[in-house]
Amino acid sequence: QQPVQSPQAVILREGEDAVINCSSSKALYSVHWYRQKHGEAPVFLMILLKGGEQKGHEKISASFNEKKQQSSLYLTASQLSYSGTYFCGTVLGRNTDKLIFGTGTRLQVFP
């Protein structure tokens, strides 16, 4: 079952914040976050392992709530370069590397 992301799309002005959620119907071992520009391959942002940790670099951070089977990506003070489609990729167990991608969230940042 594909994880569901919300919102489906978001429009921001430069400097505004956004939160993207990823919700799975199955227990998760880890969550990966990617950003994809149109016509290009996804670019790895970060990975969160079970344990409820929060990670981040620069102005992009994420959290993982293992019990709720959810992860959230936080974008603060958005920049034009943040535009793209964001996908969460979920891994269900320690013994598998298969990524099941979420439905995607399209983010557009305007000046």
Partner 1 sequence: GAVVSQHPSRVICKSGTSVKIECRSLDFQATTMFWYRQFPKQSLMLMATSNEGSKATYEQGVEKDKFLINHASLTLSTLTVASAHPEDSSFYICSAEPGIDEQYFGPGTRLTVT
Task: Provide the binding-site residues for partner 1, judged by CB under 8 A.
Answer: 2, 30, 32, 34, 39-44, 47, 49, 87, 89, 91, 97-104
Instruction: Compute the least distance from the CB of residue 91 to partner 1, in Å.
Output: 8
* Cis peptide upstream of residue 3 (ω within 30 degrees of 0): no
Contacts of 110 (CB under 8 A, 6+ apart): 11, 12, 13, 14, 80
Instruction: Compute the least distance from the CB of residue 52 to partner 1, in Å.
Output: 17
Q: Which is nearer to partner 1, 19 or 99 (CB)?
A: 99
Instruction: Compute the least distance from the CB of residue 47 to partner 1, in Å.
Output: 6
